[in-house]
Chain A
Amino acid sequence: GESVGLHLPTLSVQEGDNSIINCAYSNSASDYFIWYKQESGKGPQFIIDIRSNMDKRQGQRVTVLLNKTVKHLSLQIAATQPGDSAVYFCAENGDGTASKLTFGTGTRLQVTL
C-alpha cells in the first residue's frame, strides 16, 4: 500500500545551526502535505502545509520544500533553538483534504547546546 516515510529517525543539531528533516512519500496522487511537531507528552502541533502546485513555502523560521519529481518533502528550520527539540511528522493526503491524513513515523530532532 501507499506509505509516508522518513529518512532518519533521529537528527542531532547544534543550537543556532539549520535543521533539515526529510520525508519521502510514495502516493503519486498526493497533493497536500503537512508538517507537525510533537513535543514530549503533548499532542502534535501544526507547523506548515504545502499543496502540490507549489515547490516551496515559508513560515516563521521554517521552510517546506516539495520535490514532486522524486516524491520528497523537507522541512528546514533556521537557527535551531532548544525549543525546537521534538518529534517531527510529515503527513499527506491523496485527495487534497485532511479527512484521511497518512502520517510518517516521525523524526526526533535533538538540539545540542
Chain B
Amino acid sequence: EAQVTQNPRYLITVTGKKLTVTCSQNMNHEYMSWYRQDPGLGLRQIYYSMNVEVTDKGDVPEGYKVSRKEKRNFPLILESPSPNQTSLYFCASSFSGSGELFFGEGSRLTVL
C-alpha cells in the first residue's frame, strides 16, 4: 500500500530534550516536505527536499533541522524543543513538480 509513515504519532516531551520525528514513504517520490498545523493558521511549511541531499527552508524553519540521506526518509529534528513548537506535524511527499502531495497521518507533539 502506498503510504507516508510518520513516527511517533503522539509525543509529550520537555523543553530542551532533543527529538526526531521520522518520515518514510514507499512511493519513490523525489519531493518530501514537513508542515506544521496550528489552529487558525492552516498548514505552514517547515522544510522541503527536492531530492536526496537537497533540502531547503520553508516558511517557518527556525528551531528545526532535516536531512535527506535516502530517498524514502526525511526525518524532522528538533534539537532543543520549546513550548512554541507544540503542534501537529505532517510529512508529505510527491513526484517532483506535482501538487498532488501524499500526507502522513500526522504527529502530535507537545513540549512542556
A binds B: yes
Q: Min CB distance, A30 to chain B, in Å?
A: 12
Number of chain B residues close to chain A: CB under 8 A: 28
- Residues of the B chain whose Cβ atoms lie less than 8 Å from the Cβ of A103: 35, 42-44
Q: A34-B99, A46-B101, A98-B99 are in contact. Are A104 and B42 (CB under 8 A)?
A: yes
B interface residue numbers (CB < 8 A to A): 4, 31, 35, 40-45, 48, 50, 56, 58-59, 90, 92, 94, 96-106
A98 and B43 alpha carbons, distance in the complex (Å): 14
Q: What are 22 of the A-B contact pairs (CB < 8 Å)?
A: A34-B99, A36-B101, A41-B106, A42-B105, A42-B106, A43-B90, A43-B103, A44-B92, A45-B103, A97-B96, A97-B97, A97-B99, A98-B97, A100-B59, A102-B45, A102-B59, A103-B35, A103-B42, A103-B43, A103-B44, A104-B42, A105-B42
List 5 tightest A-B contacts by C-beta distance, closest first.
A43-B103, A103-B43, A105-B42, A98-B99, A34-B99
Contact B31 A43 (CB under 8 A): no
Contact B42 A44 (CB under 8 A): no
Q: For B42, B59, B96, B102, which residue has the most chain A Cβ atoms within 10 angstroms?
A: B42
Q: Does A25 make an interface contact (CB < 8 A)? A: no
A97 and B100 alpha carbons, distance in the complex (Å): 10
- Residues of the B chain whose Cβ atoms lie less than 8 Å from the Cβ of A86: none
Q: For B43, B48, B58, B106, which residue has the most chain A Cβ atoms within 10 angstroms?
A: B43
